[in-house]
Structure 1
């Protein structure tokens, strides 16, 4: 009996294995680089806020937690589930749909930081729709750099 030894097929397995390992290492390095160079997740400030509404005035009290950089804040107001036609730009002094001169950190002339004990107020003009009227529900969503800080709701009271 003669035995035939074939070596041609066996030499490919180690080469293919080394090649697969090299591809895996290169891909893993690319994923790690992308993960480390990608945008870092920012943590929004943690704050305890409360909402009140009387006639055309909305007030938001900062009751506890981190200071909030007003330059990063977006405020969205809904009345009975409908968004105001004109949303408050923050900070501002005079803006379409609002009476001039908000108070506290929403006023453009105030400090950029909204701190514990500060109350931000603004008055919705009668030209903004829907209007604030006693008995209506007002919901306010506050975000910083697109991250939610608070969702508040109250009923408008007569002044």
Structure 2
């Protein structure tokens, strides 16, 4: 089933510590993030997320904790308070 983007909450943590600035969804420009997220995360994008679609945002260096090589980043996505997805990765050099 499609997910209404206005019902989505995204929480990002680095090594278990939440970012000071969390991404509002949808947005174009927000404190702690590079402008111009893609897909449904962009305020000019669609208003639903569907299986197989992608959406991206980039954390700015002004956010804390900073993304440094070796740190684990966790992104939790919920819709209407219900878990949708949890993604984890490790920051790579470069």
Q: Is this a same-fold pair by TM over 0.5?
A: yes
Aligned to 1:102: 37
| Pair member with larger Rg | 1
Deviation at 1:152, TM superposition (A): 2.0
Deviation at 1:148, TM superposition (A): 1.4
1:1-40, Cα deviation, whole Å (9 max, x unpaired): xxxxxxxxxxxxxxxxxxxxxxxxxxxxxxxxxxxxxxxx
SS in 2 for 1:122: coil
Q: Which consecutive residues of structure 2, in runs of 5 or more, have no partner in the other structure?
A: none
Say which structure is richer in helix: 1
Q: Which consecutive residues of structure 1, in runs of 5 or more, have no partner in the other structure?
A: 1-65
Q: Which has the higher contact order (CA 8 A, sep 6+)?
A: 2
Deviation at 1:156, TM superposition (A): 1.7
TM-score normalised by structure 2 residue count = 0.91
1:120-139, Cα deviation, whole Å (9 max, x unpaired): 11111111001112211011
Aligned to 1:147: 82
1:75 aligns with 2:10: yes
Q: What is the correspondence of 1:118-157 to structure 2 with a 5 Å cutoff?
A: 118-157=53-92
